[in-house]
Structure 1
């Protein structure tokens, strides 16, 4: 896929609706439920909030990993998530199956710093990623990332490339 084709594909994430919509040539080609931050919207480092604004998919990670593969620091651990593993590690924030690492495009909004300090989406490690299937979608519960069902993130991984625009909106 060329850069021009990437520009024809766009992802819009709605915080209010808790949805992710994929557009190709301005037509909806996919629509998924998501879970954004429990702490709401915001860009500050350590806020636990989901950043608004224009982003791109900076890196796609995990393309050859099995469904429910566990990632820590963007590296597959070799574990495959199941309810027993979850019960043994209740404190872990599970990042599963695939990762899209986002990078903000708006200086002082979701890139670099603002008057309150760092607001950089990429440096905050904000991802779109899979989560345990027992986690509810349509409810803000994440630590800042955008969580998706494993089947959905795997499907999305095949539809978009690095450089694809991602717009995170409040409505």
Structure 2
């Protein structure tokens, strides 16, 4: 009986040990570990792109541009310049040294003068007076009409201007071109006409006669003086002729 009890106890002990062994051998439940993408973790991140800005490099010693020298055209004078066929050409003859600002023998009323340039001829003074804005600027000696061909008095205006006049002799019709022998000289400034004949200022080759009553009514002047006068007047300039 006792032997049976020991057998039962042994079986029970054996069964208990087997259960303990099973418990020990039973695998423990584990929580699955999520596999991380190690490739993404370990992959190096590319550096942020910085925009490339082109920098203007300035050389340490930049080449200096040569200073610009103004080019001045020089007028070359030929060794043997051709002679001009015109006695005065485009050059202005020098002003007469005998021209002056001599005042008229009788006072001229400024109120009778026009604004701008106004020429006043005093036949008794044998001079022409140039007024500008009613003020006397200069005067020139003149030759006037001889007896029977007196220069007419009155108020006129410049109506004709010729730089190198051509003269036609009224009696023979002979034409004399410009030049040192032309009776009209270097310039013509006409201020009176009757439709056929004309009277005006002009130069003369016989400058020694300037100051005398020797013309056919015209106002004779030295060539240099008539050239200077020509530059001061224009068509329409008033001309007053007084005794």
Q: TM-score, normalising length from structure 1?
A: 0.65
Say which of 68, 71, 96 aligns to 2:166: 71
Equivalent positions of 1:10-159 (< 5 A) are 10-39=118-147, 47-62=148-163, 65=164, 71-73=166-168, 77-81=176-180, 85=181, 94-103=183-192, 120=194, 123-159=196-232
Name the structure with the higher strand share.
Answer: 1
The 2-side partners of 1:146 and 1:153 are apart by 10
- Determine which structure has the larger helix proportion and give its number: 2
Residues 162 and 7 of structure 1: is their aligned pair in 2 closer, same or farther, counting only changes over 3 Å?
A: farther
Runs of 4 or more consecutive aligned structure 1 residues displaced over 3 Å after TM superposition? 76-79
Aligned residues: 125
Taking CA–CA contacts closer than 8 Å with sequence separation of 6 or more, which of the two structures ends up with the larger relative contact order? 1
Give me the whole-angstrom Cα distance separating, in 2, the residues matched to 1:160 and 1:30. Answer: 13
Aligned equivalent of 1:89:
none
Native 8 Å contact 2:202 2:226 kept in 1: yes
Q: Alignment partner of 2:137: what SS?
A: strand
The superposition leaves residues 75-121 of structure 1 with CA deviations (integer Å, 9 ceiling, x where unpaired) of: x954421xxx5xxxxxxx811111011137xxxxxxxxxxxxxxx3x
Aligned partner of residue 228 in structure 2, secondary structure: helix
Instruction: Call closer, same or farther: CA 1:79–1:14 in 2, change over 3 Å.
Output: same
Residue 118 of structure 2: SS of its match in structure 1? strand
Is residue 168 from structure 1 mapped to residue 241 from structure 2 by the alignment? yes
The structure with the largest alpha-carbon Rg is 2
Structure 2 unaligned blocks of 5 or more: 1-113, 169-174
Structure 1: 5+ residue runs without aligned partners? 1-5, 40-46, 86-92, 105-119
Cα distance in 1 between the residues matched to 2:236 and 2:115: 8
